[in-house]
Chains A and B, each alone.
Chain A
Amino acid sequence: MKDIAESYVTTDGRTIGPVVMEMKNITLRFGGVEAIKDISFNIREGEIRAIIGPNGAGKSSMLNVISGFYVPQEGEVWYKGARRPAMKPFEVARQGIARTFQNIALFEGMSVLDNVMTGRLTHMKTGLFAQSLWKGKAEAEEIENREVAEKIIDFLEIQAIRKTPVARLPYGLKKRVELARALAAEPSILLLDEPMAGMNVEEKEDMSRFILDVNDEFGTTIALIEHDMGVVMDLSDRVVVMDYGKKIGDGTPDDVRNNQDVIDAYLGVAHD
């Protein structure tokens, strides 16, 4: 077990930073159903952390806990060395945690550029009055943030559709626009809820490349949920495996691959 404040270098030469987020004994219930049972794990700076598990394992619930959409009944969330009090999702977003959704939640009526610009909202500080007058600071701020947005649009290769209303885009591109919007926030932690769900092989390869590039280029810490085992093993530095709301494995892809509980969960062994 490595110290939470220490950086280390992995066997394939990647440097992983200290722990930025720690989930301590999280339990989440919906009525009588326990979606998450007493789970603890951490996310380190600069790593790609995957959460995997069969359908209904509680992966999305866990992501929703991290992003503040669900508030767990028990357990603590520690972020950047301090315990996080119960928060609204928009407050979590303002703390630097951006996310995408399993069933794409974009602003369908807006252009791609406008969608990406909404990702910059947390970085725009001028007040209502200055914005309404559209003077000096407000204008400078818009230009500055526009530059960041354009950079990300270039990076994710969606320049050609900048002005297109999102509603007209095909599924694969929508997923990429959603990633762009989350990335525009320059988040400390980027949460991706099944970034490759419903994609064909080619689109999956593109998306994997973008995720790796983002991590590489911006050093963004990424936590993602994915169904496709092959993709997860290739992408991630460390993997949490969930099954029926419990954590059944945690470690490097190789550790997890050889874990008997994980093999059972995926191949199906009778639960008692």
Chain B
Amino acid sequence: MNEQLAFTIEVFANGLMAGVLYALVALGFVLIYKASGIFNYAQGVMALFAAMTLVGIQNGQVPFAHLINAIFGTEIHHFGWHVHSFLAILLTVVVMIALAWMVQQFVFKHLVGQEPIILFMATIGLAYFLEGVADLMWGSELKALNVCAAEGACLPQGMNLWLEGTTYEALGYGFFIDNLDIVATIVAAVLVAGLIMFAQYTKQGRAMRAVADDHQAALSVGVSLNFIWVLVWSLAGFVALVAGIMWGAKSGVQFSLSLIALKALPVLMLGGFTSIPGAIVGGLIIGVGEKLFEFLIGAPFLGGATENWFAYMLALVFLVFRPQGLFGEKIIERV
């Protein structure tokens, strides 16, 4: 088998896996945007906050330790216990739901019916506020994230040697793929399937779709907008947690995690802001596109580092020719 072709396929596969992570972040955006028309700039920070909370709880860190110590002159940093990953994830979910409730109760409840730009500005404020709170609560140093189901059964790190071995035998060329990427892909697939089933088949899912479609009509059939908004912010918080775990396991929990939100923007331009399948497909296209472009054109001809801007260029092209994205609702104005 042609070595160049085989390598291209490997790059392609790696691109798909990276795309899954982009899609995970984009998904959080779509959920909130669809149901409330709010473009949540804070989605990336929510992923960071979720990941930091998870690590903090796991390690038995005392929240706001620095603050407490500064005020009371104490020296406590740790409770001195370690929390099992499952329990820690569960507790983090509770924290994210509480956060969703607070965001709705203290911010967006008071901004109902405001211009989209005002709602957007509010989410920017929220992003910085949350980043500050995360810092104050758990400290700003880089942390490693190890999620383990049991002793020795942790989120995988490193390459998949089995895959390399078998593909080497079959093709005379070994594919390297990150074990973590495979897990992330499976988790993302399950998450998306779960979300779609929730939206399609449950009462609350139906109410959620109703609110996404028409607020007035939703009110007239007895749906509480407030409840649905807390629900979608909770779901977005949960998605952020999953994204935070995957990114955190890949590159450690640090503040640059919140910047992944920026990569989700071109994904949304491609997929459309209102489509869950769009977020997935958009994520995959960006992931594969930037890896392949770097490999085939960027590195040989353009001096490399094209991954930094390729996604945005692609989004720009899409904006010109198909502004509603691949799956977005086309806006038709009658004159």
**B-binding residues in A (CB < 8 A):** 67, 69, 88-91, 93-94, 98-99, 101, 105-110, 114, 117-119, 121-122, 124, 126, 128, 131-132, 134, 138, 141-142, 181-182, 185
What distance in Å separates the Cβ of B128 from its nearest Cβ neighbour in chain A?
A: 31
A114 touches which one: B198, B206, B217 (CB < 8 A)? B206
* B199-216 CB contacts (< 8 Å) to partner A: 201-207, 209-210, 212-214, 216
A134, B201: Cβ atoms under 8 Å? yes
Residue of B whose beta carbon sits closest to that of A117: B206
CA–CA, A119 and B223, complex, Å: 10
Q: Interface readout for B222-238 with A: 1 if CB under 8 Å, 0 if not?
A: 11110000010000000
6 contacts between A and B (CB under 8 A): A90-B225, A93-B220, A93-B222, A114-B209, A121-B221, A138-B202
Given A107-B209, A107-B214, A109-B213: A131 in contact with B220 (beta carbons within 8 A): no
Is there a chain A Cβ closer than 8 Å to B219's Cβ?
Answer: yes
Nearest residue in A to B225 (C-beta to C-beta)? A90
Residue pair B202, A132 in contact (C-beta under 8 Å): yes
Q: Closest approach, in angstroms, between the C-beta of A228 and any C-beta of chain B?
A: 23
In the bound assembly, the distance between CA atoms of A198 and B95 in angstroms comes to 51
> Which residues on A sit within 8 Å (CB–CB) of B212?
109
Interface residues of B in 60-109 (CB under 8 A from A): none
Which chain A positions have C-beta within 8 A of B206? Answer: 114, 117-118, 121
Contacts of B217 in A (CB 8 A): 101, 105-107
Given A106-B214, A181-B221, output 10 extra A-B contacts at Cβ < 8 Å. Answer: A90-B222, A118-B210, A121-B222, A121-B223, A124-B203, A131-B203, A138-B202, A141-B203, A142-B203, A185-B221
Q: How far is the CA of A110 from the CA of B213 in the complex (A)?
A: 8
Interface of B is mostly: helix
CB distance from B18 to the nearest CB of A (A): 30
Complex alpha-carbon distance, A257 and B256, angstroms = 75
Complex contact B209–A110 (CB within 8 A): yes
Q: Known A121-B203, A134-B201; judge A108-B213 contact (CB<8 A).
A: yes
Contacts A101-B216, A124-B203, A132-B202 hold; do A109 and B209 have CB atoms under 8 A apart? yes
Shortest beta-carbon distance from A65 to chain B in Å: 14
* 8 Å CB interface, B16-66 against A: none
CB distance from A251 to the nearest CB of B (A): 29
**A30 to chain B: closest CB distance in Å?**
15
Given contacts A118-B206, A124-B203, A131-B204, contact A105 B214 (CB under 8 A): yes
Residues of A within 8 A of B231 (CB): 128
Contact of A93 among B204, B205, B213, B219 (CB under 8 A): B219
Q: How far is the CB of B64 from chain A (nearest CB, A)?
A: 31
Task: Report chain B residues within 8 Å CB of A142.
Answer: 201, 203
> B201, B203, B231: which has the most chain A beta carbons within 10 Å?
B203
Bound-state CA distance A110–B223 (Å) is 16
**Roughly how many angstroms separate A240 CA and B225 CA in the complex, as a whole number?**
33
Please name all residues of chain A whose beta carbon is closer than 8 Å to the beta carbon of B224 when the two chains form the complex. Answer: 88, 90
Asked whether, in the complex, the Cβ of A118 is within 8 Å of the Cβ of B207, the reply is yes
| Complex Cα–Cα for A69 and B168 (A) | 68
| Shortest beta-carbon distance from B251 to chain A in Å | 32
CB contacts (< 8 Å) of A118 on chain B: these are 206-207, 210, 218, 221, 223
Query: Could you tell me the distance between the alpha carbons of A186 and B224 in the complex, rounded to whole angstroms?
Result: 19
A99→B220 contact, CB < 8 A = yes
Top 3 A-B residue pairs of the complex, sorted by shortest distance between their CB atoms: A93-B222, A105-B217, A107-B213
**Which residues in B have their C-beta under 8 angstroms from that of A93?**
219-222
Q: Which of A106, A107, A122, A134 contacts B202 (CB 8 A)?
A: A134
Q: Which of A91, A101, A128, A181 has the most CB of B within 10 A?
A: A128
Chain A residues with CB below 8 A from B198, complex form: 132
Shortest CB–CB separation between residue A220 and chain B, in angstroms?
16
Distance A242 CA – B230 CA, assembled complex (angstroms): 41
CB atoms of B210 and A90 under 8 A apart:
no
Chain A residues with CB below 8 A from B210, complex form: 107, 110, 118, 121
Least CB distance, A107 to chain B, in whole angstroms: 4
Q: Would you call A105 and B216 a contact (CB within 8 A)?
A: yes
Residues of B contacting A67 with CB < 8 Å? 220
Q: Which residue of A lies closest to B201 (CB)?
A: A134
Distance to closest chain A CB from B196 (angstroms): 13
Cβ of B161 to closest chain A Cβ, rounded Å: 38
